Amino acid sequence: MTFEEIVPMTTRSRLPLPRALKMPLRDILRGVATAADVTEEVLEPATALLPGAVQTPFRSALAAFEQAGSRAVTPTIDASDIAVAKDYLKGVDQSRNALETFVSVLAFVWERALSRHGNHQLLFSETVAAASLAVGAGGDDKTSYARAAAILTRLKKANAASRVPGTPVALSEEEGVYVDKTWLSASVWLLSERAPNLTDDIRLLELAMALTEALENDVIIAMADEVLLIETMQSLAEHL
């Protein structure tokens, strides 16, 4: 099973493979897609004032801009990427390559979460995420779950997902919880037992998201206490 079977070819054939782009460029395109989306919402009332002949091309241009960005920034991942990302999270493989793969898997999870919850005005920066984890994420003296919890804390402190990634822009409570749930879902999914094929594994990610959604109050409490976060992560991974 390859990812081609999950993503329709029509959404992939017109642009270069995202993995061929450098990480910062993917970040920029991700921003472009989100900006186009937000622009459309903001300009919606004004659009109605435009002459009819102008409205259609205007909307088409925005839609094309948004779709182009979205296509380019949705990472293609396969089973081996998931395995490498899992090894990175557990501390088995702490190489630079494993880190970059882990971050690209996070980007995949981010886009997946967006598609579940509709449009969102937060951005995820792979560059910021990778930089925050580049220097000693730890692992030698930690259990898999403790290391995963430490990585989550680093991503959070670095504001890898924010209105302006990498800067300390305060998020609303709802946005903060959204980011926490997304990263916890990603960790729980990666740390759990793999499904027999990629399709089922992606479905498992959806279940991880549904589970953290269902346990939102527990997630909020756990994110404020590292020991509890470790326990919660382990429990969720074992029960996924």
Partner 1 sequence: MMNPLEIAGGYQPVRKSAQRLRWFFKSFEEEVQRLSAETGVAYAVDDAVLANVFAEWLKAFNAQKPDTSEDNLAYVGFAAGLMLQSLITRKPVSVSSMPSKADFSKPAFFWPEGYLYVTYCLNVRGLVIRKDFQRQQSPNEALGDIRTWWSFKENVEEDPALAIAFLELFAGEEPDWQMPGLFRPERIRELPDAPRPKELKPAG
Taking the least distance from each CB to partner 1, the nearer of 73 and 208 is 208
**Least Å distance between CB 86 and partner 1?**
16
DSSP state of 123: E
CA dihedral of 229, 238, 201, 128, whole degrees rounded to 10: 20
Q: Is 207 in the site for partner 1 (CB under 8 A)?
A: yes
Q: Is 195 in the site for partner 1 (CB under 8 A)?
A: yes
Q: Is 213 in the site for partner 1 (CB under 8 A)?
A: yes
The span of 25-33, 54-62, 124-132, 212-220 binding partner 1 (CB under 8 A) equals: 212-220
| Residue among 138, 158, 161 nearest 149 (CA) | 138
Alpha-carbon distances of 9 from 12, 17, 114, rounded to whole Å? 5, 12, 21
Burial class of residue 193 in the structure, from the number of CB atoms within 10 Å of its CB (0-12 exposed, 13-18 middle, 19+ buried)? exposed
**Pick from 164, 214, 221, 227: which binds partner 1 (CB under 8 A)?**
214
Alpha-carbon distances of 96 from 6, 92, 109, 141, 151, rounded to whole Å? 28, 13, 20, 20, 15
Q: Is 204 in the site for partner 1 (CB under 8 A)?
A: yes
Q: Is 239 in the site for partner 1 (CB under 8 A)?
A: yes
Q: Is 210 in the site for partner 1 (CB under 8 A)?
A: yes
7's CB contacts (< 8 A; 6+ apart) are 74, 76
The span of 70-78, 151-159, 174-182, 210-218 binding partner 1 (CB under 8 A) equals: 210-218
Q: How many amino acids of this chain bind partner 1 (CB under 8 A)?
A: 12
CA distance 236 to 186: 11
**Least Å distance between CB 138 and partner 1?**
29
Binding residues (CB under 8 A) for partner 1: these are 195, 204, 206-207, 210-211, 213-215, 238-240
